[in-house]
Amino acid sequence: MSFPIPTLSREQGELRLEDVALNDIAARFGTPTFVYSARAMREAYAAYAEALSGVPSQVCYAVKANSNLAVLGLFARLGAGFDIVSGGELARVLAAGGQADRVVFSGVGKSAAEIEQALSAGIQCFNIESRAELARIAAIASRLGRTAPVAFRVNPAVDPKTHPYISTGLRSNKFGVDFDEAFELYREAARQPALRVSGIACHIGSQLLDPAPVAEAAEKVLGLVDRLSDEGIALDHIDLGGGLGIRYDDESPPSVADYLAPLLARYGTRRETLCFEPGRSLVGNAGLLLTKVELLKHGVEKNFAVVDAAMNDLARPALYDAYHAAVPVSTRAEATTRRYDIVGPICESGDFLARERDLALADGDLIALLSAGAYGMTMSSNYNTRPRAAEVLVDGSRTFVARDRETVASLLRHEHALPSDF
Ligand SMILES: *Cc1c(COP(=O)(O)O)cnc(C)c1O
């Protein structure tokens, strides 16, 4: 089967991302290292741009999937907007060269300071997730003498049929305002002089492999938009969130065009700008985590390949029991194939990156954990005082260090040893 990363290939036994050998990346930058393909990101973005070329549209990259400044800069150059969930992410977008007026701000707990920051920067829209947040944004905008552009994130109560931790549009989820309450909230917002009602938003979950739930959510949202319009509340954009899934193992996600087809057929020639907030589908299969086998442990019941990456670098397997393909960087004819669990050095039984993989390995071998471009680095931590990995962007035969590897000194910098007089 082909690799899920479209720009990954094997030539003369060696894995290459675009035109760069992963062996060379490990030799130059060390391991563990996240390696991203610029071409794969551009191609993923182009798939959205092409599918949406017939309608007024905007793609707002979901920053939380991979918030490296170089990645954000790449999407900004392609004309993307951004979906953010914190003031920190807004600062990243601006530092990367993104435009504030193409930023939508989601999240259930925006602080007063974050709201002020976003108002001062002049973002495109706040996606409001509760009645309390409506009051908070109106009060802050009014105090600052500004008008806040707002949308409500509605919860359409459809089941996205994905992992429960990444379902967000069910009644029981913390996200969005209840669909039946939304109409009244829009009337309230329209009466507030410090607010400008600008759009509507909805995001039902992540790693979606079926176009039906999104089309169903869109149907509900469009019905509400029409009712609001009858009431004299006209919206300028309709944001249907992110969520399109990718292939990690043997999934067969629809193409962007097939995913959006039912929805676009229903959308017709509406005048509102149709927005999406894809994260995973833009970057997930543009990245991998390059790691080195520290040692092999052959046991009675199990064989372990202990590698220099761990759950602090890539949390998804420990968190969601997620699958990442584990591919040796060099093929090795002489080693025996054994069934391995690929584990990190962290003191947790949950510290595994892949389980029960048949691989021919030797100490010091390099392994690429594929599909690690989304929710990899952004979910990483310093657990066990492990400096975070480096990030390298590949474009053709060029490489760019997008993040230096952390050092223990950089980790200790924010801490203070107990002074003798305390
Ligand atoms: C996480 C998130 C996204 C991106 O989801 P993906 O599954 O990565 O496409 C988009 N919008 C909102 C509001 C989110 O929370």
- Record the tokens describing residue 107, joined without a space: 């999240």
Question: What is the phi/psi pair of residue 93, to 5°?
Answer: -60, -45
Q: Looking at residue 377, what DSSP letter applies?
A: G
Q: Which of 330, 331, 323 is nearest to 352 (CA)?
A: 323
The domain locations on the chain are: 8-37+284-412, 106-278
Neighbours of 134 (CB within 10 A): 22
- On the question of pLDDT at 1 being above 80, the answer is no
Which tens digits make up the pLDDT trace of 144-196?
999 999 999 999 988 777 666 566 666 667 789 999 999 999 999 999 999 99
Q: What is the model's pLDDT at position 333? A: 78
> From the DSSP assignment, how many helices (H) and strands (E) are in the chain?
12, 21
* Mean per-residue pLDDT over the chain, rounded: 95
Give the position, in ligand 1's atom list, of the atom nearest the Cα of 64.
Answer: 1
Q: Is 60 a catalytic residue?
A: no
Q: State the average pLDDT over residues 348-363.
A: 95
| Percent of the chain's residues with pLDDT above 90 | 92
Dihedral angle sign, alpha carbons of residues 316, 317, 321, 325? positive
CA distance 419 to 422: 6
Pairing outcome for strands 366-369 and 20-21: unpaired
Q: Which residues contact 175 (CB under 8 A, 6 or more apart)?
A: 108, 129, 153, 155, 168, 169, 203
CA distance 192 to 142: 9
- On the question of pLDDT at 30 being above 80, the answer is yes
Q: Which residues contact 245 (CB under 8 A, 6 or more apart)?
A: 162, 206, 207, 208, 209, 251, 253, 280, 281
Give the position, in ligand 1's atom list, of the atom nearest the Cα of 206.
Answer: 7
Beta bridge partners of residue 269, listed in sequence order: none
Which tens digits make up the pLDDT trace of 81-100?
999 999 999 999 999 999 99
Give the position, in ligand 1's atom list, of the atom nearest the Cα of 207.
Answer: 7
Indicate left, alpha or beta for 402 from its phi (over 0: left) and psi (-120 to 50: alpha): alpha
- Count, residues in the chain: 422
Q: Which of 382, 380, 383 is nearest to 391 (CA)?
A: 380
Angle between helices 112-121 and 131-144 (to 10 degrees): 50
305 Cα to the center of ligand 1, angstroms: 33
Q: Which residues contact 206 (CB under 8 A, 6 or more apart)?
A: 162, 163, 166, 168, 242, 243, 245, 279, 280
83 Cα to the center of ligand 1, angstroms: 8
Q: What is the model's pLDDT at position 165? A: 59
Q: State the average pLDDT over residues 102-120.
A: 97
- Record the tokens describing residue 141, joined without a space: 């905008």
Q: What is the model's pLDDT at position 385? A: 97
Q: What is the model's pLDDT at position 164? A: 61
Residues with CB under 6 A from ligand 1: 62, 64-65, 83, 106, 203, 206, 241-243, 277-281, 374
CA distance 235 to 183: 13
168 Cα to the center of ligand 1, angstroms: 9
Residue of 64, 126, 165, 244 best suited for mutating to test ligand 1, as the one with most atoms within 8 Å of CB: 64
Q: Which of 196, 219, 242, 216 is nearest to 45 (CA)?
A: 242
For the domain spanning 8-37+284-412, the CATH number is 2.40.37.10
CA distance 300 to 315: 28
Q: State the average pLDDT over residues 25-51.
A: 98
282 Cα to the center of ligand 1, angstroms: 11
DSSP string, 187-227: HHHHH-TTEEEEEEE---BSSB--SHHHHHHHHHHHHHHHH
Which tens digits make up the pLDDT trace of 206-244?
999 999 999 999 999 999 999 999 999 999 999 999 999
For the domain made up of 106-278, give the CATH fold: TIM Barrel (3.20.20)
CA distance 370 to 228: 45
Q: pTM of the full predicted structure? A: 0.96
Contact of 72 with 96, CB cutoff 8 Å: yes
CA distance 357 to 391: 26
Task: Label residues 349-384 b or e (16+ Cβ within 10 Å = b).
Answer: eebbbbeebebebeeebbbbbbbbbbbbbbbbeebe
pLDDT band per the 50, 70, 90 thresholds, residue 332: confident
Nearest CA owner, ligand 1 atom 3: 242
Q: What is the model's pLDDT at position 335? A: 81
